[in-house]
Structure 1
Amino acid sequence: MRRTAVSAAALTGALVLAGCGSDAPADLSVSAAYMPQPVSDSMAAGFLTIANEGGTAAELTSVTSDIGEVTVHETVDSAMREATGLAVPAHGELVLESGGSHLMFEQLKRRPRQGETVSVELRFAGADPVTVEMPVESATYTPHSGH
């Protein structure tokens, strides 16, 4: 009888611990967002960091903006390619930075200028969309931290 009670208590404790935080929803925030002023009338890049404080991973699946088409790109072995999605791990972050994964704006309807902001909506599998106001920096801007 004592062995059964101890086993039941251990099983209950394990089930309670298994539920703690393991399936908490993704909790996303964005920082260090910017777009270097485009040097071309048709293309631009965007960079940012997406942090996930939640217990469930999310995946960046698409991005929209009123200034043109936006795709997510990744750099693999020095080659840039369009990505169908990028993971935002639970309790981790996804960094979109120059020379790595980034946003690519194409077929621009207007050419953003330094000092303006560009609105983008980030869409995710596993989390609600996030709207970001991305400041346009100088074409040679290099962030101090976060990228």
Structure 2
Amino acid sequence: MNRRTVLAGVLALTTGLTLAGCSSGGEPELEVAGAYMPQPVSDMAAGFLVVRNSGDAADRLTSVTSPLSDDVTLHKTENRTMREVRSFEVPAGGELELARGGNHIMFMKLKQRPEQGEKVSLELHFEKAGPIRVDVPVKETTHNPKKQ
């Protein structure tokens, strides 16, 4: 084999691998729905929402930031016990539901207590997708969309 043949073979293989890398795996396509925060009664609050992924790749919600608090964390609830977690999976073609009695966003040491009818700004940060900014409406303290 001469150098041209070897070079052409390497170039073809490299091009094929590059194209395969671009076409496999896909991208997450995320949107947020149903966001709300019950009006807080102390210096803590919870946030609930659904992240839908219509893409063909899973992603992870890794953090949440908000001007309302410098201490915003993700919490998982199992067997009526709440514990902080580092992230939540958002499955490909599926959704992540953060709801009362289950997984949720926790806002600690609130800088102010938002009132019913106001909106709280937050930003969701993901492992793959870019951040998503959400204006979350503050509902009455007992609000639960599943019981309506």
Q: What is the TM-score when the length of structure 1 is the normalising length?
A: 0.81
- 1:142 deviation in Å? 1.6
Moved over 4 A (4+): none
- Does structure 1 conserve the Cα–Cα contact (< 8 Å) formed by 2:75 and 2:84? yes
Other structure's SS at 1:135 match: strand
Cα distance in 2, alignment partners of residues 82 and 144 from structure 1: 24
- 1:104 paired with 2:106, answer yes
- Does structure 2 conserve the Cα–Cα contact (< 8 Å) formed by 1:22 and 1:55? no
In structure 1, stretches of 5+ residues that fail to align are 1-17
Aligned residue number for residue 9 of structure 1? none
1:1-147 map, 5 Å: 23-40=25-42, 42-68=43-69, 69-144=71-146
Structure 2 counterpart of 1:47, which letter? F
- Does structure 2 conserve the Cα–Cα contact (< 8 Å) formed by 1:22 and 1:56? no
In structure 2, stretches of 5+ residues that fail to align are 1-19
Other structure's SS at 1:112 match: coil
- 1:23 deviation in Å? 1.9
Q: How many residues align?
A: 126
Cα distance in 1, alignment partners of residues 126 and 97 from structure 2: 15
Cα distance in 2, alignment partners of residues 66 and 124 from structure 1: 18
- Does structure 2 conserve the Cα–Cα contact (< 8 Å) formed by 1:64 and 1:70? yes
Cα distance in 1, alignment partners of residues 86 and 125 from structure 2: 12
Structure 2 counterpart of 1:139, which letter? T
- Superposition CA RMSD, Å: 1.7
Distance 1:54 1:118, change over 3 A: same
Cα distance in 1, alignment partners of residues 40 and 143 from structure 2: 11
Other structure's SS at 2:135 match: strand
Cα distance in 2, alignment partners of residues 72 and 142 from structure 1: 19
- 1:22 deviation in Å? 5.4
- 1:78 deviation in Å? 1.7
Deviation digits for residues 50-109 of structure 1, max 9, x if unmatched?
000001100000000001021010012221000100000000000000010000000100
Structure 2 counterpart of 1:61, which letter? T
Cα distance in 1, alignment partners of residues 67 and 89 from structure 2: 24
Q: What is the TM-score when the length of structure 2 is the normalising length?
A: 0.81
